[in-house]
Amino acid sequence: MTLPTPAAAPVVRPPLRLTCVVPAYNEAAHLAAFLEALHATAKTLTSEVEIIVVNDGSRDATQAIARELGPRLGLRYLELSRNFGKEAALTAGLAHARGNAVLLIDADFQHPLSLVPEMAALWRSGYDMVYGVIAERAGEAWTKRVGTRLFYGLLHAGSSIDMPQHAGDFRWMDGRVVEALRQMPERNRYMKGLYAWVGFRSVALPFTPDTRRSGESHFSLRNLVMLALEGLTSFSSLPLRVWSAAGLIISFLAICYGLWIAIEAMLFGNPLNGWPTLAAGLMLFSGVQLLSIGILGEYIGRIYTEVKGRPLYLLAEDLDHSALNPAARA
């Protein structure tokens, strides 16, 4: 499902100054080829291009590649002090973007470069955000497909914000959207939710991801479950509410049962029995209580990280060969 798409309002866009943000975590095997290809594509759109490579704590030759290609391709190279995760890497890239439009794209050739001109055209026609929506998940394991379905179903049920399903981080954003995203202070970042939260005129662009050029996805089942928890707790309080409702229903049933026991004893002189029921009930409700405390804990843990207010990422290096660097223009 995609969101209803508001028609683009006719706007006059200023000349495009494009920032491409590329998060890279151990992508050295194909990074040089990717950056060359991205540069070539971007140059067909405008002469003012900067490519921000965010090295998310890679343990490979990413740094050497970026240093070598930097001056020629106009790279901005940001190195995080360790692996902070893709969401933090994107945040770092967005924080340093200087263009009036930003393209987020993975470094593994999975996001087709051939769609970038179309994104630019949609932006020019008045859309502030063009997001890629995965049209086909053919190559993915069934566990991942079922899990994704379940997650989007829960999120849709529990969140007041309509988040487009199967939309990834492949997207083109106007400078105003980027500015809005920069104002989001939260530490627990579920980017897909944040994109939807800021709003603006958005349009979906269906695409089929290409196969990864080399290496493997960094998102294991465990990572995806963590990300899903992040999304659910950041954008929905349904898990908390479910337990209030369950508590209410269980209490009501307990009262009915209590009344029934009393009536039975008074009318029929039934001696108190039903110890097995008691034992089973006790175990069931202890379990339910622990579960609901655990869910509370998830939220409290997140409040704790927010309260600590630590930076989202730390920069270890910042090499600026960008054409959009004001110093470079002077």
Tokens of 217: 């996805």
Angle at 218 between CA 1 and CA 80, to 5 degrees: 110
Fill in the DSSP letter of residue 218: S
Residue 22 or 73 with smaller CB distance to Mg ion: 22
Give phi and psi for 41, each to the nearest 5: -65, -45
- Is 217 among the residues that bind ligand UDP (CB under 6 A)? yes
CA distance 272 to 239: 37
Rounded to 10°, the helix 191-198/221-235 angle is 30
Contact between 289 and ligand UDP by CB under 6 A: the answer reads: no
202 binds ligand UDP (CB under 6 A): no
Question: Which residue, 50 or 56, has its beta carbon nearer to ligand UDP?
Answer: 56
Smallest distance from ligand UDP to CB 33, Å: 14
User: Counting contacts by CB under 6 A, is residue 230 touching ligand UDP?
Assistant: no
Q: Which amino acid would we find at residue 201? A: R
> Which residue, 69 or 89, is less far from ligand UDP as judged by CB?
89
Q: Nearest approach, Cβ of 183 to ligand UDP (angstroms)?
A: 22
Task: List the one residue out of 93, 86, 107 whose CA is nearest residue 33.
Answer: 107
Question: In sequence order, which residues have a C-beta less than 8 Å from that of residue 2 and are 6 or more positions away?
Answer: 133, 164, 165, 204
| Closest distance to ligand UDP from the beta carbon of 90 (Å) | 8
**78-137: contacts with ligand UDP (CB under 6 A):** 83, 85-86, 89, 106-108, 110
Q: Which of residues 25-54 bind ligand UDP (CB under 6 A)?
A: 25, 27
Confirm or reject binding of residue 220 to ligand UDP (CB under 6 A): no
